[in-house]
A and B are shown apart, each in its own frame.
Chain A
Amino acid sequence: MIIPEFEYVSPQSVQEACALLVQYGDSARVLAGGSDLLVKMKDGLMKPAYLVSLKNLDSLKAIRYETGTGVIIGARATHNEVMNNRLLQEKYRSVCEAAHSMAADQIRNIGTVGGNLVNAVPSADLPPILIALDARARIVGSSGERTIALEDFFLGPGKTVLEKGEILAAIIIPDQPTTGSNYIKFGLRRAGALAVAGVASSVTVSDGTCRDVRVVLGAVAPTPMRARQAENVLRGKKISRELIDETGRIAAAESKPISDIRGSIEYRRNLVNVLTRRSLKAAIEKGHI
């Protein structure tokens, strides 16, 4: 397989990267791990004239905690870096598990958080758990920086709110009262399979009552989606098996899956139902795993 010709640039600063992206406009693409972009280019699905590599931008790589802000995951952090990060393992193991559910070591060693999000593939594994944890996206552009809820980041398959010249710099998981979170991916093989459906949840539980909850569905709508009606079933209520069952059913009903070679609409709805229940149960009983 042959990759079409392109010009490779590797700016030394985020500002320079943004400036180059503005200058080249639609003919440029950001290159992170390339595990998605290069495959598409080889398949002839994309022919950018310029690839703006982020590889020199070490400021985008760190995973750290900032008091008052929360856990900051640099967009260039790879899936294996996320998976093996001590801080995340302690605070939000669910994120590490989601990273672990992806691909295999080869891809996890190069694929990045930023690439996974900006790609905006409905089946991507990181968005659901990050949205469930109320993550924010820090976006840097030539005219400054903005931070938005990750939930509002996705517009459709392959489409995000990023404007020309903007780069996703980091994901922030804010400090939060949640007591548990969890992501379950259902793939058709134990490794190297994309999600047929994925469900993430986070819960804030005290005294057997669900004070708050988020349920986020992957691979069953054009973008990762909050199952808000399902959340409403559980929020503020005393937790019971019946209620969780009901949450699963409602989540399935509000999901918007399509049929494709990985699964039919009906099957995906069933998976949403089952995985929602299981994810909530795990988040309630086991914390952030």
Chain B
Amino acid sequence: MSEATTKEFSVIGKSVPKIDARDKVTGRAKYTGDLKVTGMLIGKILRSPHAHARILSIDTSKAEQLPGVEAVITAKDVPATFYGISPARYDETILAIEKVLQVGDKVAAVAAVDEETAVKALGLIDVEYEVLPAVLDPLRAMDEDQPQIHPQYERNISVEIHQDFGDVEMAFQQSHLVRTDRFQGNRATHVPMEPHAAISKWENGKLTIWSSTQSPHYFQYHIARVFGLKMGDVRVIKPTVGGGFGGKLEPSAAEYVSAALAMKTGRPVKIVFDRKEVFFHNRGRHAQHIELTTGVTKEGKILGVHGKYIIDGGSYTSLGIASAYYAGAMLPLIYEFDHFKFDCFRVHTNLPSCAAQRGHGAPQPRFAFESQLDMIAKELGMDPIEIRKVNARRPNTMTLNDLKVNSCEFMACLEKAREISGWVGKKGKLPPGQGIGIGCGGFITGAGYPIYRTRLPHAAAIVKVSEQGDIATLYIGAVDIGQGSDTILAQMAAEAIGINYEDMRIVSADTETTPHDFGAYASRQTLMSGHAVKQAGEEVRRQIIELAAELLEASVADLDIDRRVIFVKGSPEKMLPFETVANEFFIRKGPLMGKGSYTPPKLGGKFKGAAVGTSPAYSFAAQISQVEVDEETGQVMVTNVWDVHDCGTVINPNLLHAQVEGALFMGMGEAMYEQVVFDDKGRPLNANLGEYRVPTALDVPQVISELVDSYEPAGPWGVKEVGEGATLPTMGSYANAIYDAIGVRLYDLPLTPEKVWRAIHERKKPS
């Protein structure tokens, strides 16, 4: 029995309203683009029209003379420091130095009194290019005849991974059935509602940046390094953020260029990307070309898996190395098998850079795996849920790539999904054109290691109780980008202290006023920041109880706090209000504070890349989708989705289910609609929200989001991941449901009506 069901909570486990809901619905919440700093200029970036070209000359003289222009900069005016994920692959600069590597690459920039002037000035900059042949096809990027994009990456290989666990050849030999299939993923992108935006202010040798960021800490680290500043001289503040999804995890030109312009002009500079620039900056999903081979026994037990990938990294490395490793590391998570080989080439092309996007590297391989597992089940005459149950991971196990799994209720997820979806009555029994399919997933609850090498804890928190004892403020570096971390961390603090949610205030995500935290990515904050908050809150609670014990002449062990009342257990009439004790504390001892920090245990194996995929805890999910296919047009309507998640203890049910729905809809977009496409010159054809179609409210299915009872020992109060996990199963479950509906297998994302129609057409052709 889990602890979650035996203990009554006062504040957590409840769907309290979001702490910023009122501000958001009234428009009071201020996003970076809304902010105005006295004396502020507007910055604009001149971007390359070519996918690959040498910059021969840049003439900025006309732009400089335009009235209202305060600065025009090119690479020679800014630090030439390369940046990226890790020193070996620092390959991007603030502005292009010698070559541009993609359409939309950063060439020059302007700061002017207003946007109109800045835009006009961009038009006055003359750049002479020598256009070079471009690499646009990732499958050809490694060919001898292709131009080399970066001098240091031969054959355009950004990273090459070969991991070999067990003996996959032997496993295949022992298999009853071995299948090889090829799958192709799509170049999807995050589409945050709020584009990237930053305001930089340079004053007295100190750089302050308001930024639409997922991680003030990493921004501070990279920006300080690139400009040669002390970290303490860089302050990054996160205003309200309108979504990130992985695309705002590293500084963009919005920060770097506005900072450079602020330093040059001495005035604050604001840069807000337009939608096209968001597509240019990208850092979205890598299109993965996957050849997957799986061997199983007669009973459907998976013996070995071999994945061979070529993935399109685009122009710069960005965080893409991690994405490449994740593409393999997450495959052995949800099913147990012993033999696994993972070969991956991340290649550079002259297209926008790819990096982290919700589910980081893992969704497309999961699509491939879940699709193939269904094909295998069909060949074996097994039910798709049965084959998953045969292989489902069990709790307290270790994956073949040394990921330690504590809680795991995957089996329960499968059972419950089967039950609530009415699977038994539907599978293979729906009328023609209708189908049902399953896809599963699992994901990390925070990365075991940070993005750059540091011994800093992963999260930290300070709680300060007011001198009157009426409220408490949580200071935390964790980053609310819309997902609601401020809310659930405030709930956790209130629970730990013993006060109400309404008593909590929060100051978050400001490198100067809040303690360090790595930020919003890898589904880490509920567990990691939550640990720090719990510890900080409990420290306050301990101090309050100690003083209360003195005042009540009781022993510490006999006291408890619940919702602001400190009482003697068993004799509740002996009590003191929280504010009385807190106020007395301040009078006697000064500020009443608690602090906490969290560092995950040492995790992972010793092989190259072993750090990727490590996490204190893993979520698991099963998703069943029901579809209706119009066989004449190929149009697929997803009518219902049942998602069952194993996510540990729930802090805020409404926010949790909202995360499931959001992740699922994002997975749906990638599964059905979304793909950035380019012309033969590498120019994006749909860098707008009209032709890059994310699902609308009318498109999304009815979602039933359910949970299974689960408790994660590595998480505070037993919590673990939810934000990304639900993106993973969706693509596979749709593909499998489509197969069930019309007997046609699709290998190529997104599953557009035209592709479905073509596949039906092919099937109908007399062979």
Contact = CB atoms under 8 A, between A and B. Distances in A.
B166 to A, nearest CB: 44
B673 A189 contact: yes
A267 B696 contact: no
B685 A191 contact: no
A161 interface: no
B633 A186 contact: yes
Given A188-B753, A261-B685, A264-B754, A2 B696 contact: no
B116 A2 contact: yes
Given A188-B693, A189-B693, A189-B696, A274 B633 contact: yes
A261 B677 contact: yes
B254 to A, nearest CB: 16
A263 B754 contact: yes
A45 interface: no
Contacts of A1: 274
A11 B711 CA distance: 71
Nearest to A278: B632
Nearest to A1: B274
Interface of B: 115-116, 119, 274, 632-633, 635, 673, 677, 685-686, 689-691, 693, 695-699, 752-754, 757-758
18 contacts: A2-B115, A104-B696, A188-B693, A189-B673, A190-B696, A190-B698, A191-B696, A191-B698, A192-B689, A192-B690, A192-B696, A194-B690, A261-B677, A261-B691, A267-B754, A267-B757, A270-B633, A274-B632
Contacts of A264: 754
A270 B677 CA distance: 23
A254 to B, nearest CB: 19
Contacts of A271: 633
Contacts of B119: 2
A193 interface: yes
A41 to B, nearest CB: 13
The 5 closest A-B pairs by CB, nearest first: A190-B698, A274-B632, A267-B754, A2-B119, A189-B693
B398 to A, nearest CB: 44
A1 to B, nearest CB: 5
Nearest to A273: B632
Nearest to A189: B693
Chain A binding surface SS class:
loop
B67 to A, nearest CB: 15
Contacts of A104: 696
A83 to B, nearest CB: 16
Interface in A1-51: 1-2
A148 to B, nearest CB: 31
Contacts of A188: 673, 693, 752-753
Contacts of A194: 690
B686 A261 contact: yes
Contacts of B632: 270, 274
Contacts of B754: 263-264, 267
A189 B695 contact: yes
Contacts of B752: 188
A238 to B, nearest CB: 25
Nearest to A197: B633
A140 B134 CA distance: 52
Interface in A244-271: 261-264, 267, 270-271
Contacts of B695: 189
Interface string A168-196: 00000000000000000010111111100
B274 to A, nearest CB: 5
Most buried by A among B119, B696, B697, B754: B754
Nearest to A194: B690
Contact of B699 (A186, A189, A262): A189
A118 B599 CA distance: 64
A132 B635 CA distance: 26
Contacts of A192: 689-690, 693, 696
A262 B673 CA distance: 11
Nearest to B117: A2
B274 A270 contact: no
A2 to B, nearest CB: 5
B542 to A, nearest CB: 54
Contacts of A186: 633, 635
A267 B115 CA distance: 43
Given A2-B119, A261-B685, 15 more contacts: A186-B635, A188-B693, A188-B753, A189-B673, A189-B698, A191-B697, A191-B698, A191-B699, A192-B696, A261-B691, A263-B754, A267-B758, A270-B632, A270-B757, A274-B633
A190 B699 contact: yes
A270 B119 CA distance: 45
A267 B758 CA distance: 8
B660 to A, nearest CB: 22
A186 B677 CA distance: 21
A198 to B, nearest CB: 13
B312 to A, nearest CB: 18
B368 to A, nearest CB: 24
Contacts of A262: 691
A120 B530 CA distance: 57
A54 to B, nearest CB: 25
A193 B689 CA distance: 10
B733 to A, nearest CB: 20
A186 B633 CA distance: 9
A263 B753 CA distance: 9
Nearest to B633: A274
